[in-house]
Chains A and B, each alone.
Chain A
Amino acid sequence: MNTRTRPVIRLLQYAALAGFLVFLAFPLVWMVSTAFKPPQEIVSLHPTLIPNHPTLSNFTMALEESSLVRAGMNSLLVAISTALLTVLISLPASYALVRYRTWLRKVSLGWILVSQIFPQILIVIPLFMIMKQLQLLNSLVGLVLVYLVWALPFTLWMLQGYVRAIPPELEQAAAVDGAGKVRTLVSVVLPLLAPGLVATSMFTFVISWNEFFLALVFLQNPDLNTLPLALARFIGAEGAVRLGPLAAGSLLATLPGLVFFAILQRRLTSGLMSGSVKG
């Protein structure tokens, strides 16, 4: 944006921005508000944004009853491991899929598509049996592996785009200068891919952080619970929910993610910029 914009337009832009802000943030704001309300206020017919009698009891309940802190540590461990592993594995794989002409390229496209469309729920039982055979049930390692494979289609798709944006001539120039294949990859390709790697790992982190069903099915030991499982404790039968502690717990669970995003948001968008999915 290099041209000056008229003040009226600027005003409209800020108004639109405010509109978006309200739309995107108000469920979060409402969750904050609910987290500090005593049960009587949550069911009031005229909900107020600011609680009339703010209380911290929801937070104590959430922390005490659902071992939120430990669940948070588990989630963090799983999400970071998944993000790192997925990126480490899909980086060479997507490079290979772009730079080398193999039949695997078409097959991988087919697999990416079908795995995204076919109902995941129907894959769970055969997957469960495999995990049982490999003794990976009820372990965070097993969960990371499942998440890894679940995230791979998207990361391969994304990273292929970024790799494609790197001109092959750069690599060839390095080869002419006498660099071996590995050195070329590390010193030429990798730095250019860094922003894309940040974006991909962030996305993988997010989907592992929030995932519920696979964690529910593959984990058993309550010490291994991830955050979504811990929060589900407050959900009862027939739609009954203990809203106060649930809101408090969800708030605590959401904050780390938001802080993470706030720090990385600049990196993220400039990361996706260099030759994203350019078709």
Chain B
Amino acid sequence: MRLKSVAALAIAMTVLLPATACSSSSDESGGPVKLTFSTYAWQKDTVAATKDIVASWNASHPDAQVELVQVDADSVHDKLVTQFNGGNPPDVIHDESADIHGFAEQGYLADLSTLLSANTKSQVSQGVWDSVTFDGKVYGMPTLMQSYNVFVNTDLLAKAGVSLPTADQPWTWDDFQAAARKTTSGSTFGAGWGLKSPVSAIMSLSMNFNGSFFTTNGDKTEFQFGDAEKQLLARTHAMIYADKSLAPTSTSMATGDVLPGFFGGKYAMIIAGNYNVQQIMEQAPKGFAWKMLPPIKGESTSQAANPQTLSVAAQSKHPKEAAQFIEYYANAENLAKLAQGDRLIPTTSDAAQAVMAQTKGANGWDTMILSGKSLAVAPFQKAEAYPQWKSQIATPAFQQFFANKISIDVLGNQLKSGWQTVNTR
């Protein structure tokens, strides 16, 4: 490598690079307002729908232009931490309610209660609003929600003589456990459940039995582990080790990883987020007959609402325009498109109606819209130190419990003492 050619190449690079450099900053001196909107949409249809929404907004709002920035779902939190603490966050932020709690406490999100219209507010149920309200202020517009549902291989269930539930007569957990027992035979397990990240699923579904795990009085949050909390845990454990109807290897898999086994007839039923309908439709082998069941019932069909949210950064220079974009994004037509792209439940009643009208309830949409009615905020979502407890204490403890390394009482003690350690504020 001759020095001259190397130097020439280097100079060429340093000249070319600034030509590609492009920094976006809001225009302060008149001219259109520039907003950045970061989203983690990743399903093909959702991405297309999001791009359409931004494009149509930009076309009809020449004075407030939105720049779309895509982030992958796993990196959303980290990028936001850096941007918030570095003072350069996007104006409109796509995140989820579990994540924005922390940012709200840290003062990085704007209060939307004054910025959203009364019409928008009336569209979403109070239980769902509560999941994005902290200290009396609203920090995000809830958009799309998921529920945990049972998916069944209808052929295998028919073969075992198990009858399917209907919307008015959903299965109880007892029914589910019985069905699992009946369909376990040979190399087939009655059920598979990807519980590698167990906390969200367990906490949410324990609401079926009113197992709230946490009670908040003012700003003190206490942890409890009574019979209500033990119900779901004990039933799941029994399915794995007593009934042997729930595949033990499945409980250490990620939620979506159970799909190959589901398609291959290894698990007659699986519990997964309802959005997996998309994956199932794309990946199932031809002739695979399946159905998504209405939400399972404990004492109720309640599950925690953890909606996707759109928030406005506190450091944003144009909160009003940002909020207007959010309302546009969440209007009936747009939200319906996004819901269908992501296979998630829209939070607003108008959008839910639109989805029903467009899909006529096919492909499990009737079940999904119905499931939406069971979703409301859960107590654990209000506990401030919950994220740390979840990842440092609860996740390893639950994993050990499902691997039968510790008993349920030891689990309870670990969870309780762990909460006391992290809840120092």
Between A and B, 11 residue pairs with Cβ closer than 8 Å are: A61-B44, A80-B9, A85-B14, A139-B18, A139-B23, A142-B21, A194-B1, A216-B71, A217-B82, A222-B68, A224-B20
With A43-B260, A77-B16, A81-B13 given, is the CB distance from A135 to B23 under 8 Å?
yes
With A81-B17, A217-B82 given, is the CB distance from A236 to B73 under 8 Å?
yes
The interface residues of chain A lying within 8 Å CB-to-CB of B197 are: 238-239
Interface residues of B in 253-267 (CB under 8 A from A): 254-257, 259-261, 263-264, 266
The interface residues of chain B lying within 8 Å CB-to-CB of A61 are: 44
Q: Is B88 an interface residue (CB 8 A)?
A: yes
Interface set of B (CB-CB < 8 Å, partner A): 1, 3, 6-7, 9-10, 13-14, 16-18, 20-24, 36, 40, 42-44, 47, 67-75, 78-79, 81-83, 85-88, 90, 196-197, 254-257, 259-261, 263-264, 266, 273, 279, 282-286
Contact in complex: A141, B17 (CB < 8 Å) = yes
| Interchain CA distance A125-B36 in the complex, whole Å | 20
The interface residues of chain B lying within 8 Å CB-to-CB of A139 are: 18, 20-23
Interface set of A (CB-CB < 8 Å, partner B): 39-40, 42-45, 61, 65, 74, 77, 80-81, 84-85, 88, 124-125, 128-129, 132, 135, 137-142, 144, 186, 190, 194, 197-198, 213, 216-217, 220-224, 232-240, 242
| Interchain CA distance A1-B18 in the complex, whole Å | 51
List 6 extra interface pairs beyond A88-B10, A128-B83, CB under 8 A.
A81-B17, A141-B21, A235-B72, A237-B73, A239-B197, A240-B254
Contact in complex: A236, B43 (CB < 8 Å) = yes
Specify which of A137, A140, A141, A239 is in contact with B255 (CB 8 Å cutoff).
Answer: A239
Contact in complex: B20, A140 (CB < 8 Å) = yes
The interface residues of chain A lying within 8 Å CB-to-CB of B10 are: 81, 84-85, 88
Contact in complex: B73, A39 (CB < 8 Å) = no
Contact in complex: B264, A238 (CB < 8 Å) = no
Q: Which residue of B lies closest to A142 (CB)?
A: B21
The interface residues of chain A lying within 8 Å CB-to-CB of B79 are: 216-217
With A40-B284, A84-B10, A138-B23 given, is the CB distance from A128 to B256 under 8 Å?
no
Specify which of B42, B85, B259, B283 is in contact with A236 (CB 8 Å cutoff).
Answer: B42
Q: Which residue of A lies closest to B308 (CB)?
A: A237
With A125-B85, A216-B75 given, is the CB distance from A235 to B21 under 8 Å?
no
Contact in complex: B86, A132 (CB < 8 Å) = yes
The interface residues of chain B lying within 8 Å CB-to-CB of A125 are: 81-82, 85-86
Contact in complex: A144, B74 (CB < 8 Å) = no
Specify which of B81, B87, B264, B282 is in contact with A45 (CB 8 Å cutoff).
Answer: B264
| Interchain CA distance A213-B13 in the complex, whole Å | 23
The interface residues of chain B lying within 8 Å CB-to-CB of A213 are: 78
A241 shortest CB reach to chain B, Å: 8
With A124-B82, A235-B73 given, is the CB distance from A39 to B264 under 8 Å?
no
Contact in complex: B70, A222 (CB < 8 Å) = yes
Contact in complex: B14, A81 (CB < 8 Å) = yes
The interface residues of chain A lying within 8 Å CB-to-CB of B7 are: 88
The interface residues of chain A lying within 8 Å CB-to-CB of B285 are: 40, 44
Specify which of B13, B43, B69, B82 is in contact with A84 (CB 8 Å cutoff).
Answer: B13
Specify which of B21, B86, B283 is in contact with A140 (CB 8 Å cutoff).
Answer: B21
A117 shortest CB reach to chain B, Å: 21
| Interchain CA distance A128-B273 in the complex, whole Å | 36
A244 shortest CB reach to chain B, Å: 9
Contact in complex: B263, A65 (CB < 8 Å) = no
Contact in complex: B260, A45 (CB < 8 Å) = yes
With A84-B13, A222-B68, A237-B74 given, is the CB distance from A45 to B266 under 8 Å?
yes
| Interchain CA distance A220-B259 in the complex, whole Å | 34
| Interchain CA distance A221-B90 in the complex, whole Å | 12
Specify which of A42, A65, A85, A197 is in contact with B1 (CB 8 Å cutoff).
Answer: A197
Contact in complex: A129, B255 (CB < 8 Å) = no
Specify which of A42, A43, A129, A138 is in contact with B24 (CB 8 Å cutoff).
Answer: A138
A34 shortest CB reach to chain B, Å: 13
Contact in complex: A84, B9 (CB < 8 Å) = yes
The interface residues of chain B lying within 8 Å CB-to-CB of A221 are: 22, 24, 67, 69
Q: Which residue of B lies closest to A124 (CB)?
A: B82
Contact in complex: B13, A80 (CB < 8 Å) = yes
Specify which of A129, A144, A190, A217 is in contact with B17 (CB 8 Å cutoff).
Answer: A144
Contact in complex: B44, A65 (CB < 8 Å) = yes
The interface residues of chain B lying within 8 Å CB-to-CB of A42 are: 283
